[in-house]
Structure 1
Amino acid sequence: MKKENVAELRDLATRILGLTEEQGATIELYRQDAKPIQAIQYSTDLIGDDELWRAARKELARKRARTEFLPAEMSTGACWTMLLDLFDNKRRHKQVSITSVCSAAMVPTTTALRYLGLLFTMGLVERLSDPRDARRVHVRLTGQGETAVKQTLQRQIEVERRIDEEDLKENNSRG
């Protein structure tokens, strides 16, 4: 697909998402059945502050890396989870139903379907009819979708390694 077409599709997906939100649809950021976070006592003998800080830096770097290959609204939350689930199932040679991929997103079905629609529009996923049951539809990553996930994961691994190397150099310079 040409870069111009990809850019146009990204713009369209962003506008669609904006329109759905303007029409009163809300993106639920938290599961409704989630329990409040309770204070947990951590032992710094097990996980030190430096390790927690490194984990936070890596998480931020992973999020930034995802936006290099995917539009921001597709690189976090439900969209990213669906892409990862489809990538995992493709590697396992398993077919995935629309219901299953929506469930994997861990958001309300209507929200998952809206995001899945954006992934279809972007050409990252495609529908496949079940040859044994005409009522059932499967979903899978397209070649473009698989490439986007692979590039994103590769970039995330690279930035994590860079952080590890920086920390190692810093620790060596201290001692």
Structure 2
Amino acid sequence: MSFFSARQGTVRGTSKLQLWSIAIWVALLWSCFIERSYLQHLSELQQMGPLGWLGPVANFALIVICIAALLRVHWARQGLRIAAGLVVIWIPLSARHEFSLWRQLAQSSPGTESSAELAMQAAMQQQLHQILGMDLVMKAVLLLFWLWLCWRLGRDDVVPYFDRRRGPRR
């Protein structure tokens, strides 16, 4: 008996580790990292008012849903599919905002600063371009990840893992 068959149990005779289960762990860890980032910038969130709390609260809900999905709670599969769909909608909206920031940086015209200030400003702009570029690439990868997870959790072979009648995991 292998480690995975002893730990996971069997559903319809399968005992292999499921890739979507690993993806849920990745989603949980990523969400915890984002929540930590929100909590580090708590003072800025308080200045934004009630709308500033939307991100941390939504992210905390995603953490709860991921934990429930890992525990194979019957409602978590559909809840995670809905949450993944909302993340898929949110990613292009936030990427659009960052892309507009990127374009604004490219269009900024130099003023009457000295050559040292211009060189420092050019170096900072180059770093910001790289950071925004990496962020846009990361968003594209995350978009594909969440689309795949949403699709995979909708497949018929995943449904028995979240069956209400299955009972507690051992």
Q: TM-score, normalised by structure 2?
A: 0.31
Q: TM-score, normalised by structure 1?
A: 0.31
Q: Which has the higher contact order (CA 8 A, sep 6+)?
A: 2
